[in-house]
Amino acid sequence: MSQRNTTYFISDLHLGASYLDTRQSEQKVIDWLNSIKSSAKRLILLGDILDYWYEYRHVVPRGYIRFFGKLAELSDSGIEIHWFTGNHDIWIFDYLPAELGITLHRTNEVLDIDGHSFFLSHGDEVGERKWSFRFIQWLFRNKVAQWCYSWIHPDLTMILAHKWSSSSRKKNNQKGEKHFRGEKHEPLVRFAKEYIKNNNVEYLIFGHRHILLDLMLTRNNRMVILGDWIKHFSYASFDGENLWIDLFEPEDDV
């Protein structure tokens, strides 16, 4: 049996999105999880893992059962799992952490991983953001707004959420994925360069932008934007000394 010494990073699966084949996209992620379970020491999910989730007090939304089951299996086997919420799965509360045995992070954090410092963030709370996006984030986190939203019938909220997601996805496709205009103009790159001026971290890892970027900021500082599982099927792995970016290609796809 191989030694478990690797930390894996993944983001932006958007499971359950109306524009994806739900069963196929979920199965591809499960195939990847199966491929890493013998080597994984730690799994870090960097947000937008689910395209939409609202956690009711006594009701569990439909779907994701195979994915949740696999996470529970990995957690039960001793693999440490961290889930950083993104703007799509912001409404995870206490059910999933308790049932799956995972650690939930609601904001950016610096973690020590095998003696190395990592700034971890979905990416939606840092850098340059439009005031409209900031307002929506505030509203989604507001306890009163969450309470009011919980009284809307789940069937209706699901329809609204999928329409919003599809509209956002179509807009981004028309303008270029998350409006990427090169490293010089990338807001997460600018944020990272400013952040390392006053903070001693070796790695900065983000999701959110749906672009795949691996950049040495200085000789001692490296940043990664993880891509997604809509187009790239990308992830990062860290063995305690080296960080790699890779693409998942199941045997059936080769």
Task: Please say if the pLDDT value at position 236 is more than 60.
Answer: yes
Give me the phi and psi of 144, to 5 degrees please: -65, -45
List residues bridging with 80 in a β-sheet. Answer: 42
pLDDT in tens, 177-215: 556 667 878 999 999 999 999 999 999 999 999 999 999
Give me the phi and psi of 118, to 5 degrees please: -125, 125
CATH for 130: 3.60.21.10
Residue 1 counted as domain residue: no
Q: Are the CB atoms for 11 and 51 separated by under 8 Å?
A: no
pLDDT in tens, 112-168: 999 999 999 999 988 777 777 677 777 777 888 878 878 877 778 777 766 766 656
- Split at pLDDT 50, 70, 90, the class of 26 is very high
Residue 173 counted as domain residue: yes
Highest averaged pLDDT of the listed ranges 22-31, 54-63, 132-141: 22-31
Q: Which domain holds residue 58?
A: 6-253
Q: In what order do the strands lie in the sheet with 212-216?
A: 109-113, 116-121, 203-206, 222-226, 212-216
List residues bridging with 44 in a β-sheet. Answer: 9, 82
CA distance 97 to 26: 20
**3-class secondary-structure state, position 100:** helix
CA distance 56 to 59: 5
Residue 150 counted as domain residue: yes
Residue 45 counted as domain residue: yes
Q: How far is residue 46 CA from its own chain's centroid? A: 3
Q: Are the CB atoms for 42 and 113 separated by under 8 Å?
A: yes
Task: Please say if the pLDDT value at position 239 is more than 90.
Answer: yes
Angle at 80 between CA 17 and CA 114, to 5 degrees: 120
Q: What is the mean pLDDT of residues 14-24?
A: 86
Residue 136 counted as domain residue: yes
How many domains are there within the chain?
1
pLDDT in tens, 27-47: 999 999 999 999 999 999 999
Between 173 and 56, name the one with better pLDDT.
56
